């Protein structure tokens, strides 16, 4: 039997305990509506071990190149 979620006055969605127990408070979701149906899809980034194990393409930038990029960025006017 389906459980019932509740939209609170603070505009938060209170999930039933057995559903909420599947997730952590820091989890993030993509949300979209189709008619009167609401879809939630947890965003699952790749594990850190996959990211760390990747080698960057090409030669690494020198400290002078990095320094120049930082200075160019700081000279740009701030976006409103």
Q: How do residues 22-57 score in pLDDT, each as one tens digit?
A: 999 889 999 999 999 999 999 988 777 777 776 777
8 Å CB contact between 45 and 27: no
pTM (2 decimals)? Answer: 0.50
What value does the mean pLDDT take over residues 61-72? 92
Distances (CA, A) of 48 to 25, 42, 43, 52, 55: 19, 17, 15, 6, 13
- Would you state the pLDDT for residue 36? 94
Question: Residue 73 falls within a domain, yes or no?
Answer: no
Domain count of the chain? 1
Question: Residue 20 falls within a domain, yes or no?
Answer: yes
Report d(CA 73, CA 8) in Å as an integer. Answer: 43
Question: Residue 14 falls within a domain, yes or no?
Answer: yes
Question: Residue 23 falls within a domain, yes or no?
Answer: yes
| Mean pLDDT (the chain, rounded) | 87
Supply the range of the domain harboring residue 35: 6-42
Task: Label residue 79 by pLDDT band (50, 70, 90).
Answer: low
- Would you state the pLDDT for residue 48? 76
Question: Residue 13 falls within a domain, yes or no?
Answer: yes
Question: Residue 54 falls within a domain, yes or no?
Answer: no
């Amino acid at each position: 039997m389906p459980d019932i979620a509740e939209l609170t006055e603070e505009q938060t969605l209170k999930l039933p305990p057995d559903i909420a127990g599947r997730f952590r408070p820091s989890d993030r979701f993509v949300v979209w509506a189709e008619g009167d149906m609401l879809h939630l899809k947890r965003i699952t980034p790749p594990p850190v071990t996959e990211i760390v194990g990747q080698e960057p393409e090409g030669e690494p930038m020198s400290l002078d190149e990095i320094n120049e990029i930082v200075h160019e960025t700081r000279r740009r006017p701030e976006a409103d």
